[in-house]
């Protein structure tokens, strides 16, 4: 197509479909090819008109090829595009980046039902040899999670949905914390199995746990402890002594073997198989416990005679009965709370006590710091049998 003329030299354009590349005559008998690309207006100068025309045809063909891959947006798509860019604009994020992040977030190899994932995790916990008590808690909490969400898949539950579900359970904040932790474990497990994206597991983990108001732990006095010991049978006494003076849990004592109560070494070995967190730890035996156990300890066999008692339920149910017979008001875990309070009062070392007790230093500090004075701690460990056992004290041994 002819555009204009300059001394017999006429500008023209080369068209291919909707694409037009223009060729203009310049001074000194030159020709300039002009076209538009994604980078803006482009120019190229030639001395020969034929070469310019040939180049214009090449550029036109190339531009047509590029445009053939571009699809025209429909009215609704154009509307969506405008809305999306308006949302992302203040964030400084491109639509492409947002789309890539979304695709990554929802990229899964399988849409895994929650109930199937729960069963798989429970099987894994059993294979890992975690304590029966932990497995039972996990089963009850996660099955409730699966039942409440019916046939939903893992990726149907977002962080806000989980938060609202936890708040609607109608349980105490501490119980909410435990259930949240198990759901987080479920989603981490699912991510490791490639059932959900890692980002989804992180979103679930970001759900803030409810705050728990720490109440004063229920403890006993030395006089009450002595009454408990006096009211127990010879078979029950070793379990009570260990609960009172060594920072063990009821379920741990219920499964403890005398072989791991090493009086000569002044230590109780809490093997992974009986520990709540399935991690072995060593807990020191103080002089007070030595005094009570030296003449009644056995080489092997269960410390708590009422077997089998894998969860410590029999021991836990027996303790209030002994307390009632002794005229002592029993509160759940009062022996363990008293022991840890005494240890914190006498050692003032949360890190060390946490290792012995199988808790985190933070939990020990928050729950037990400043509960008892040093004098109270000494009084607790001063509870000894009326007739001292024939053993040397820790001080003498040192």
Q: Give the total number of structural domains in the chain.
A: 3
Same domain assignment for residues 268 and 387: yes
Residue 253 forms part of a structural domain: yes
Query: pLDDT band for position 370 (50/70/90)?
Result: low
At 70, give phi and psi (nearest 5°).
-100, 120
Q: Which of 347, 346, 331, 340 is nearest to 366 (CA)?
A: 340
Can you tell me which residue has the tokens 């000494």? 378
Residue 155 forms part of a structural domain: yes
Residue 38 forms part of a structural domain: yes
Same domain assignment for residues 181 and 227: no
Element (H, E) at 228: helix 222-231
What pLDDT does 369 receive? 65
Tokens of 223: 């006089």
Same domain assignment for residues 334 and 238: yes
Residue 106 forms part of a structural domain: no
Same domain assignment for residues 321 and 347: yes
Query: pLDDT band for position 385 (50/70/90)?
Result: very high
Same domain assignment for residues 239 and 270: yes
User: Each residue of 243-268: pLDDT tens digit?
Assistant: 999 999 999 999 999 999 999 999 99
What pLDDT does 105 receive? 65
Same domain assignment for residues 247 and 372: yes
Residue 213 forms part of a structural domain: no
Domain holding 247, by residue range, is: 222-397
Give the bridge partners for 22, in sequence order: 13, 34
Residue 90 forms part of a structural domain: no
The residue ranges of DSSP E strands in the chain, in sequence order, are 2-6, 9-16, 19-25, 31-37, 40-46, 261-262, 267-270, 281-284
Look up the pTM and report it: 0.58
The order of strands in the sheet holding 9-16 is: 2-6, 9-16, 19-25, 31-37, 40-46
Whether pLDDT at 352 is above 70: yes
The residue ranges of DSSP E strands in 147-288, in sequence order, are 261-262, 267-270, 281-284
Whether pLDDT at 235 is above 90: yes
CA distances from 388 to 166, 228, 231 (A): 53, 18, 19
Query: pLDDT band for position 392 (50/70/90)?
Result: very low
> For 36, what's the count of Cα atoms within 13 Å in the CB-facing half-sphere?
5
User: Each residue of 4-13: pLDDT tens digit?
Assistant: 444 457 889 8
Residue 179 forms part of a structural domain: yes
Check which CATH number belongs to the domain holding 153 and give it: 1.10.150.130
Same domain assignment for residues 191 and 272: no
Same domain assignment for residues 229 and 345: yes
Same domain assignment for residues 53 and 149: no
278-303 burial by CB neighbour count: b if 16+ within 10 A, else e?
eeebebbbbbbbbbbbeeebeeeebb
Same domain assignment for residues 293 and 333: yes
User: Each residue of 45-101: pLDDT tens digit?
Assistant: 999 999 999 999 998 888 877 765 556 677 887 788 888 888 888 888 788 788 877
Residue 146 forms part of a structural domain: yes
Domain boundary among 205, 233, 265: 205
Q: Are 241 and 336 in contact (CB under 8 A)?
A: no
Same domain assignment for residues 383 and 332: yes
Domain boundary among 205, 239, 256: 205
Residue 60 CB neighbour total at 10 angstroms = 20
Domain boundary among 163, 179, 205: 205
Same domain assignment for residues 178 and 233: no
């Amino acid at each position: 197509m002819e555009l204009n003329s300059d001394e017999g030299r006429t500008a023209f354009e080369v068209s291919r479909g909707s694409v037009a590349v223009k060729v203009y005559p310049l001074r000194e008998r030159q020709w300039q090819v002009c076209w538009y690309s994604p980078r803006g207006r482009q120019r190229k100068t030639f001395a020969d008109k034929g070469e310019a025309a040939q180049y214009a045809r090449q550029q036109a063909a190339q531009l047509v090829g590029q445009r053939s891959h571009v699809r025209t947006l429909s009215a609704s798509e154009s509307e969506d595009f405008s809305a999306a860019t308006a949302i992302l604009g203040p964030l400084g994020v491109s639509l492409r980046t947002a789309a890539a992040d979304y695709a990554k977030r929802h990229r899964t190899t399988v849409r895994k039902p929650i109930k199937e994932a729960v069963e798989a995790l429970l099987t894994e916990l059993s294979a890992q040899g975690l304590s029966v008590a932990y497995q039972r808690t996990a089963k009850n909490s996660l099955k409730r999670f699966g039942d409440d969400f019916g046939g939903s898949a893992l990726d149907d539950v977002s962080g806000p949905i989980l938060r609202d579900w936890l708040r609607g359970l109608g349980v105490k904040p501490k119980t909410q914390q435990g259930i949240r932790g198990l759901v987080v474990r479920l989603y981490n497990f699912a991510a490791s199995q490639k059932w959900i994206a890692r980002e989804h597991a992180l979103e679930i983990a970001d759900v803030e746990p409810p705050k728990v108001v720490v109440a004063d732990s229920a403890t006993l006095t030395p006089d009450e402890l002595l009454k408990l010991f006096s009211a127990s049978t010879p078979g029950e006494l070793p379990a009570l002594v260990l609960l009172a003076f060594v920072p063990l849990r009821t379920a741990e004592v219920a499964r403890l073997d005398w072989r791991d109560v090493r009086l000569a070494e002044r230590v109780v070995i809490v093997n992974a198989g009986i520990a709540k967190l399935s991690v072995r730890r060593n807990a020191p035996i103080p002089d007070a416990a030595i005094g009570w156990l030296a003449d009644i300890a056995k080489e092997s066999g269960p410390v708590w005679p009422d077997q089998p008692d894998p969860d410590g339920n029999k021991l836990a149910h027996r303790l209030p009965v002994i307390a009632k017979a002794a005229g002592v008001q029993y509160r759940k875990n009062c022996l363990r709370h008293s022991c840890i309070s005494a240890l914190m009062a006498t050692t003032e070392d949360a890190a060390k006590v946490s290792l012995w007790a199988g808790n985190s230093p933070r939990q020990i500090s928050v729950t037990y710091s400043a509960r008892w004075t040093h004098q109270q701690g000494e009084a607790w460990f001063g509870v000894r049998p009326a007739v001292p056992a024939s053993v040397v004290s820790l001080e003498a041994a040192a």
